[in-house]
């Protein structure tokens, strides 16, 4: 019996792209290793400029985003992602840990907010949960599959 990966979307032929925007090279590398899986394509970015370029060049299914970056505030990128034509789920991963910081991040559109230091086990669980929520959002029963419509047409 084959095991189904908790990351890969059913019927997907590609790995799920996840962009990590974290300027601390050691932490970024650690996050890449912690989330390494055959069904996740981890893309490390160390600043806003490289994250913007990556988002412009290719699609992503999830972004892990630090707020305090060397070339600006991650909340600016969060706003751009959430006001785009196809908003991407974003988990903020930051040292900003006051109640007001969390509220502000969530009100700016973050799908989740994790403060440093954090547990890698909890981070992996939250990433899986966010990918599941995103899959449920795009796979709602109200969206009719073209193959299903073709089958209905053949039956008539």
Q: Provide the H-helix boundaries in 11-145.
A: 25-34, 48-57, 74-82, 99-107, 120-138
How far is 3 from 5, CA to CA, in rounded Å?
6
Better-scored residue on pLDDT, 38 or 90: 90
Domain range list for the chain: 16-155
Q: Which tens digit of pLDDT belongs to each residue from 52-98? A: 999 999 889 999 999 999 999 999 999 999 998 888 999 999 999 99
**Per-residue three-class SS string for 14-38:** CCEEEEEECCCHHHHHHHHHHCCEC
Task: Tell which CATH classification among 3.40.50.970, 1.10.238.10, 3.30.390.50, 3.40.50.2300 matches the domain 16-155.
Answer: 3.40.50.2300
Q: Which tens digit of pLDDT belongs to each residue from 112-130? A: 999 999 999 999 999 999 9
Q: Model pTM greater than 0.75?
A: yes
């Amino acid at each position: 019996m084959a095991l189904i990966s908790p990351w890969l979307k059913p019927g997907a032929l590609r790995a799920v792209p996840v962009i990590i925007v974290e300027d601390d090279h050691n932490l970024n590398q650690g996050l890449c290793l912690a989330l390494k899986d055959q069904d996740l394509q981890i893309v490390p970015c160390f600043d806003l400029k490289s994250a913007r370029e990556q988002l412009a060049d290719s699609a992503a299914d999830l972004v892990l985003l630090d707020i305090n970056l060397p070339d600006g505030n991650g909340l600016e990128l969060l706003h751009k992602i959430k006001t785009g034509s196809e908003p991407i789920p974003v988990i903020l991963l930051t040292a900003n840990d006051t109640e007001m910081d969390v509220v502000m991040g969530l009100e700016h559109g973050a799908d989740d907010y994790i403060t440093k230091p954090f547990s890698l086990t909890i981070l992996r669980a939250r990433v899986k949960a966010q990918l599941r929520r995103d899959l449920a959002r795009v796979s709602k029963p109200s969206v009719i599959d073209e193959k299903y419509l073709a089958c209905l047409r053949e039956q008539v």
